[in-house]
Amino acid sequence: MRHFLSFDDFSKSEILEIIELSKKIKAEFKQGIQIPYLEKKILGMVFEKSSTRTRVSFESGIYQLGGYGMFLSNRDIQLGRGEPIKDTAKVISSMVDMIMLRTFGHERLEELAKYSSVPVINGLTDLCHPVQVLADYLTILEEGIDNPTIAYIGDGNNMANSYILFSAKMGIELRIATPKGYEPDTTILQKGRELGGNILLTNSPEEAILGADVVVTDTWISMGMEEEKGQRIKDFQNFQIDRNLFSKSAENSIFLHCLPAYRGYEVADEVIDGERSRIYQEAENRLHVQKGLMVWLDQHRN
């Protein structure tokens, strides 16, 4: 049985299998064909951290695959508070066919997976957000960019960490630009380089974006960091992707953002609403790659 916690656990060929399956399921969906790949299967969706796109995409996805989605918020379940995660994992996994967890600490996800008898999916942790990077990659491929140079500009957060592992596994050039003190996780960066990743880490957004095929950013103030807002806005003020900075990327480059976006902070209106922005296609692709991922995990139970 396989879990989807981070790209560290997956080979390039397995990632491509998930992407190809996602393409197939998306094409069927667009043609009005809905095959019940997960007929009568139940997905337990545990949200300790709220989200619009994660809930809608997973809940719609499991229904479209013929299954059922069970939403559990932190008001419904006290994961590790009052009851050990081990006990919660064993009980919930005896009643559902798959679990998606969106939480803060990555160690909570790992412990849930350790004791779960069904596949566990990382819907987001503070350390990694791999389902979003899968959606980004599907979007990149749909744009006909087969061997991209990716520039990630902004906070070295869970998105940056997932891009490091993903790019190293896939053999993709990645350039990350962050302010000093906001670099990605050092352990993940070391792991990416040990895997042979072509990774540039810089404090210059201009250096990172020059000639890049794909430009990615994320919010400067992630959930739980609201008290740092003033300092972060000051520290990141030279990292906004505006028309001038974006113009240094490749001629046919695309802009991606996992949303929610804060216009006027990490990205200017003229870029996020511009003709090379693919944020809505990217957001929709969360639905399709998560469907592909759930079907793939179901096929690899034994």
The Cα–Cα gap between 134 and 165 comes to: 12
The answer to whether 129 and 156 are in contact (CB under 8 A) is no
Provide DSSP, 254-278: EEEE-S---BTTTB-HHHHTSTTB-
Residues present in the chain in total: 302
Count CA within 13 A, CB hemisphere, residue 179. Answer: 14
Name the token pair of 140. 């990149």
Closest to 214 in 3D by CA, of 148, 170, 282, 131: 148
Catalytic residues: 102, 129, 132, 218, 258, 286
The Cα–Cα gap between 225 and 237 comes to: 17
Site of tokens 């997973």: 58
